[in-house]
Amino acid sequence: MIEVQEWKLEREKMVNEQIVRRGIDDPRVIDAMRAVPRHCFVEKIYHHQAYNDFPLPIGNGQTISQPYMVSKMTELLELQPGDHVLEIGTGSGYQTAILAYLSKIVYTIERIGELQRAAKQRLQNLGFTNVSYMIGDGTVGWTECAPFNAIMVTAGAPEIPDPLIKQLAEKGRLVIPVGGRSFQVLNFVRKQKSRIFREEVFECTFVPLVGRESWEDGA
């Protein structure tokens, strides 16, 4: 119980100092960040750093994003309880948990099977039952389950994959880092009356999005 209380205090500090203070004001997003235990999504050796404002390694050359980035990308999606969400890049499962907390169902795709299997176990251990999993190429989306009210891409692409645009529902929202392999700009997209409205949010750095509609592995 002492350890649990310690993590709650660390999480509260994270929310107050890294999220609310930096301008995140959606109360549902704040509640989700306060509720989901980030330390459960990293190896034990990183538990003491889990609530700091920087990414952490999760293996296979991938990272768990900093808390502020998670909260900002989530806030941009304007999630509602009935939304169907597509996530490209399951990673540790932390962002998946935040999305699942705020929506009806999350469809999450990860190309590295080892990462997704570990993430699925974590999410199930925490009681998340509204997540469907696929191991495969996220750049082509998940046609069978489309359209989606919201799509989040947690890796950087040279351009927005066309299949993801096509799988957005009317009034759907999408967030994705766009740019080079090591430096991008976070893009926000909204589909309105079949038209696409796009804006740049801020500069960021994500691991490359690998797949048929993005960077080729090893390129």
Is residue 31 a part of any domain in this protein? no
Provide the domain limits for residue 75: 55-204
| pLDDT mean over 94-117 | 97
Domain CATH number, residue 78: 3.40.50.150
Is residue 108 over pLDDT 80? yes
Higher pLDDT, 4 or 111: 111
Q: Which residues participate in catalysis according to the annotation?
A: 65
37-46 tens-digit pLDDT = 999 999 999 9
Rounded Cα distance, 48 and 55, in Å:
13
Q: Is the pTM of this model over 0.85?
A: yes
Is residue 114 a part of any domain in this protein? yes
| pLDDT mean over 180-190 | 95
55-98 tens-digit pLDDT = 999 999 899 999 999 999 999 999 999 999 999 999 999 999 99
113-141 tens-digit pLDDT = 999 999 999 999 999 999 999 999 999 99
Q: What is the DSSP string of 66-130?
A: PHHHHHHHHHHTT--TT-EEEEE--TTSHHHHHHHHHSSEEEEEES-HHHHHHHHHHHHHTT--S
Per the structure, the count of domains in the chain is 1
Is residue 41 a part of any domain in this protein? no
| pLDDT mean over 161-165 | 97
User: Quick one: pLDDT at residue 4?
Assistant: 57
Residue 86's region, left for phi above 0, alpha for psi from -120 to 50, else beta, is beta
How many other CB atoms are found less than 10 A from the CB of residue 215? 17
Is residue 45 a part of any domain in this protein? no
Is residue 119 a part of any domain in this protein? yes
User: Quick one: pLDDT at residue 194?
Assistant: 84
